[in-house]
Structure 1
Amino acid sequence: MSDTRVLVLLGSLRADSLNRRIAETLRDQAPAGTVVEIAEGLGDLPFYNEEIDHDDEVPAGAQRLREQVAGADRVLAVTPEYNGTMPAVLNNAIDWLSRPYGANALRGKPFAALGATPTRFGGKWSHDDARRSATVAGAQVVADIVISESTVDRGDILEDAEFVGRLLGALDALVEHSGETASAA
């Protein structure tokens, strides 16, 4: 039996962001049989523009991302929240992945969104928006994976074994997901 490959789309561009550290924790502590890869270079993608998205002229970074998602078994957005929604870098990545319409790399892929942020609701709106956008793109959103963690006055939450356990449980739930939860496009 082959490993289940999970590709992480990071919503933060900072090298030492908490959400990158969450993704790295999932990568480093993934159970046997699960390989977690972090998609790099999302910040280098041009803003989605149909005029530069042609079969023979897709920007190299967008083509690489589409191939990474196509080769993955599952997709996980790990993201903070910016101004009450998902960061532009994540939205742009999903825009690139939503094309070509009807035959895109996200179509049919189990997808989840989670993360942490120093806001009252811990990124809930960002995660909801990422799930909604992925649903419109045709992903199978795993609705019961919900970790929107507020870090207000909590210190380094990755030192909290219970929180890390919840993250690993969410990864397991994504890997084990087999049926359609939501899909459109």
Structure 2
Amino acid sequence: MFKRAAFSVLIIVALACVSQSCAYRLDAASIPAGLKTINVQFFENNAPFVVNNLSQNFTEALKNKIRSQTRLSIVRGEANATMSGAIVGYSIAPVSVQATGTTSAPPIASASRLTITVTVKYVNDIDKKLNFDQSFSRYADFKGDLGTQEQNVIALILPQLTEDIFNKAFSNW
């Protein structure tokens, strides 16, 4: 009896998906058939505060995301699609403060937030309606001095940024 009920539910869900033109995919990447190559250009760091290796790390993280989750070949020069842009924001702000214990001293940040903002222009020559020019921001909170943990905090943010950009370009979300 249980098998019959489970099978019936499965059939109903499958029919509902078909009737609703359900296009959900587990891998979530939706790449037009003619799209074979992409040129991911170097993302310059144009933020007011420049971290030496941020441009290189971000550009490589984005390329690795595309390499690992698509069939696209990353090329230099002419390609079916191009992704370009710049790092335009790198800011640190307090998210919580604590008293210093004296009335004359100002409160200090007990936790801070690092936010990185990237502008991305995606041009898809195969399917022009997928083109976009948009900013993406992500952040991570940290305690203490950023100097000793900056690379670790950046390493938390980059996968989030590349996931957002990847989803916008290839998942039609």
Q: TM-score, normalised by structure 1?
A: 0.37
In proportion to residue count, which structure has more strand? 2
TM-score (norm 2): 0.38
